[in-house]
Amino acid sequence: MNEPLLAMQALLAGINDVPVQHRVTDFLIDDARVCNHLLGRTLADDEDEQVLICETDAGPALSVYIDQRVMASLAADDPLNCLSDNNLPAFCSAVEGISHFQYFIWCAEHDRQVSLLELELQAEVDKYALATCLLMHQAQGRFHHGLHRRLFSQVDFVATLDAQSRDRYSEANRCAANFCRRNDERYLNCRQPRVERWLHELRQLYRCSHHQKMRRALS
């Protein structure tokens, strides 16, 4: 059941040109009761993904929670074979957890601090980038024009979010939407698509510092 997660991690690593140093499945929790215990609270019904980070004497400790229902959905209807509206929610939940995990480790290995807004912004971009690559491959290279609206406009946030967290998610969504729209218009949604330039922009964003990432996303 873990194979889709490993495949998604490898594909995302390829898009961003970063190595997979640690397999996300080695840090995976799919039992909500365990996640509740580690969080010190009960997950809401619509919380199906969490990355838990704890500082220890030996350094940061990570766990990745992805709900059992998400895992079952991915196993039954693998988006890597055919991404559709039916499996898109599970796909997005899984990629968000993988993105947080991968980006936090990359920043730690490069001795860089990372903000919660950075993590959320990168996850939004990663979800869109991986979905775009899958859909173009599955449609013989044709660009999927409805994806941007589906991922950035038709969204709902976890109902129990506090105001500060909701503002952070909303800002990450806005910045990622702007960056992805501009990147598509320049390099994909045109007469002669330039996929390598599109990937180059994604890889540059990945390596930006917090302030650089925000400026690049909104420019």
Based on the structure, what is the number of domains in the chain? Answer: 1
User: Can you read off the two tokens belonging to residue 105?
Assistant: 């480790």
Query: Closest Cα partner for 100 from 162, 22, 216, 200?
Result: 22
Provide the pLDDT for residue 140: 66
Gap between the Cα atoms of 115 and 120, Å rounded: 9
Provide the pLDDT for residue 72: 94
Backbone Cα Rg of the chain: 17
Mean pLDDT of the chain: 91
Query: Closest Cα partner for 91 from 116, 123, 52, 118?
Result: 123
pLDDT category of residue 125 using cuts at 50, 70 and 90: very high
- Per-residue pLDDT of 195-217, as tens digits, reads 999 999 999 999 999 889 999 99
State pTM to two decimals: 0.93
Mark out the alpha helices in the chain (DSSP H runs). Answer: 3-16, 32-39, 68-76, 88-109, 116-138, 147-152, 163-187, 195-206, 210-218
Contact indicator for 114, 103 with CB cutoff of 8 Å: yes
Longest CA pairwise span in the chain (Å) = 55
- Per-residue pLDDT of 152-208, as tens digits, reads 998 888 778 889 989 999 999 999 999 999 999 999 988 888 999 999 999 999 999
| Domain carrying residue 55 | 3-218
Provide the pLDDT for residue 142: 62
- Per-residue pLDDT of 44-84, as tens digits, reads 888 899 999 887 777 778 899 999 999 999 999 999 999 99
